[in-house]
Amino acid sequence: MVAQLVALCPEHVLRVLELTDSFNIHREAVVVPLLTEEKGSVRLLPDGKLRIACPNTLEFDEWVSDLRGQLQKMDLSKLRKS
C-alpha cells in the first residue's frame, strides 16, 4: 500500500517556522516541502539550509512537539541566523 501524499495547510507551515524562529534560524534558511512524506525528515542540506518534511503517519501536533527535541540535538550553528 502506498502512503497518500497530503498537502500541508498554511497554519502547519507557520507553526514549523515559528518553531525554527525560536532557534533564531532565519526563515530563508528553512525549507518546508508542502507535501508530506511517509515518515517525515529533518536534515541539513549541503547548501546550508534546514529541510523539514512533515510526516503523514503521525498527528501534526504530536510530531511538531517531537520536532523541537530533534532540532535541539542537531548542530544548527552553520545555519543563517535571523
- Could you report the per-residue pLDDT of 15-52, keeping only the tens digit for each? 999 999 999 999 999 999 999 998 899 999 999 999 99
Average pLDDT for the chain: 93
Going by pLDDT thresholds of 50, 70 and 90, the confidence category of residue 58 is confident
Output the pTM of the full model: 0.90
Whole-number pLDDT of residue 2 = 56
Residues 58-81 have a mean pLDDT of 94
Of 3, 4, 39, whose CA–CA distance to 52 is shortest?
39
**C-alpha to C-alpha distance for 8 and 4, rounded to whole angstroms:** 13
